[in-house]
Amino acid sequence: MSGLWPLARPFLFGLDPETAHRMAVRALATGVMPRAPAPDPKLRRRLLGLDFPSPLGLAAGFDKNGEVPDAALGLGFGFVEVGTVTPKPQKGNPAPRVFRLVEHAALINRLGFNNEGHDAVHARLAKRPRRGIVGVNVGANKDSPDRIADYALGVERFAGVADYITVNISSPNTPGLRNLHEANDLAALLRSVVAARDGAERRVPLLVKISPDLDDDALEAVVRIARDSGIEGLIVTNTTVARDAVAGHPHAGEAGGLSGRPLFAKSTAMLAKVRRLAGDDLVLVGVGGIDSTETAMTKILAGADLLQIYTGMVYRGPGLVREIVAGLPRLLARQKASVGRARAAGQASA
């Protein structure tokens, strides 16, 4: 497919973004994509009790229903995050709800957790061979009377089939969801999901995915609560509701979360702050605007242990995965470092 990308891209970009996305998922499901070669052993990392063959993962939202995690691993990802999954199936917001901002290599989406729900996604994941790292990102139904209970249910439900679980409190598309970043609510949420994890069949690592739109005081509180809670890490960041980086674009006024290149600086600056606040206590996944080996390396130097991409792949195609996985060892060799040592050196010089 990477060789076909110059032909596939104009075809896909001629379709509305959700139709193009469905075709991409279908192409993966039919197995037409060639498998990527094994990554350079220098990229291996042991984190969260798991052996990551490379630090580059597929971010949540591409495979919301767990239809193609193994095919996505075959593209060269070191791990794949399925979801967001909510307890009950949910249709999400009315279409159109995904917009391309081509000049900015960006997307705005207000999908609103459209997904098939716990039962359907769990059944799919339970059937797959457990090869390759697959995390599950859990959320709350829009109409739930008790959102914290929805997250705890997600942890209980997926502990047996997920290599890690992400508690996603940072979608801008479920009204009020981001309020769960507030100190009291976050502490209550994390107590609840850690208790659910401790009572589950397996001790699954827990990550929390945060918003890039927090001010410094709020961020400091989030990191302190996360450190004290018993969770293992943070995913930094989800999409932004800010529009300064795309001001004037015809779609800039669309409601939803902005992802891709205009998110890079903001999410990377936040990642660096989180690393300073967290020291080595938390595993950090850097996500937001990675679209090249250089931007991937910049995230590592800002403090990321692991990386995720989504929008970059929409614009650059699946070949971007191979490009980064092949390119990182070369950049690391220049620094004479492994991913972990480059990450630590980035902090020492910050």
Ligand X SMILES: Cc1cc2nc3c(=O)[nH]c(=O)nc-3n(C[C@H](O)[C@H](O)[C@H](O)COP(=O)(O)O)c2cc1C
Q: Which residues are catalytic?
A: 171
Burial bucket for residue 229 (CB in 10 Å: 0-12, 13-18, 19+):
middle
209-228 positions binding ligand X, by CB under 6 A:
209
What secondary structure does DSSP assign to 226-263, as a single string? HHHHT--EEEE---B---GGGTT-TTTTS-SEEEEGGG
Sequence letter at residue 222: V
Is residue 298 part of the contact set for ligand X (CB under 6 A)? no
Is residue 238 part of the contact set for ligand X (CB under 6 A)? yes
Instruction: Provide the 10 A C-beta neighbour count for residue 123.
Output: 12
**Distance, CA of 326 to CA of 328 (rounded, Å):** 6
Q: Which of 20, 60, 136, 167 binds ligand X (CB under 6 A)?
A: 60
Is residue 318 part of the contact set for ligand X (CB under 6 A)? no
Closest distance to ligand X from the beta carbon of 215 (Å): 19
Q: Which of 28, 53, 64, 298 binds ligand X (CB under 6 A)?
A: 64
Q: Which of 93, 109, 295, 298 binds ligand X (CB under 6 A)?
A: 109
Q: What is the pattern of x (binds ligand X, CB under 6 A) and - over residues 255-284?
A: ----xx--x---------------------
Q: Which of 53, 61, 87, 329 binds ligand X (CB under 6 A)?
A: 61
Q: Which residue's CB atom is positioned nearest to ligand X?
A: 61
Is residue 111 part of the contact set for ligand X (CB under 6 A)? yes
Q: Supply the DSSP symbol for 162.
A: -
Residue 28 makes CB contacts below 8 A (sequence gap 6+) with 68, 71, 72, 75
Choices 7-15, 30-38, 183-191, 288-296; region in contact with ligand X by CB under 6 A: 288-296
How many residues in the shown chain lie near ligand X by CB under 6 A?
A: 27
Q: What is the pattern of x (binds ligand X, CB under 6 A) and - over residues 168-207?
A: x--x------------------------------------
Residue 319 or 335 with smaller CB distance to ligand X: 319
Closest distance to ligand X from the beta carbon of 289 (Å): 5
**Distance, CA of 264 to CA of 270 (rounded, Å):** 10
Sequence letter at residue 240: T
Q: Which of 43, 73, 290, 321 binds ligand X (CB under 6 A)?
A: 290
Q: Which two tokens stand for residue 147?
A: 């959102």
118-137 positions binding ligand X, by CB under 6 A:
137
Q: Supply the DSSP symbol for 193.
A: H
Residue 260 or 346 with smaller CB distance to ligand X: 260
Residue 183 makes CB contacts below 8 A (sequence gap 6+) with 221, 225
Instruction: Provide the 10 A C-beta neighbour count for residue 280.
Output: 11
**Distance, CA of 288 to CA of 263 (rounded, Å):** 6
Residue 162 makes CB contacts below 8 A (sequence gap 6+) with 82, 125, 134, 135, 136, 204
- List of residues contacting ligand X (CB under 6 A): 59-61, 64, 83-84, 98, 107, 109, 111, 137, 168, 171, 209, 238-239, 259-260, 263, 287-290, 309-312
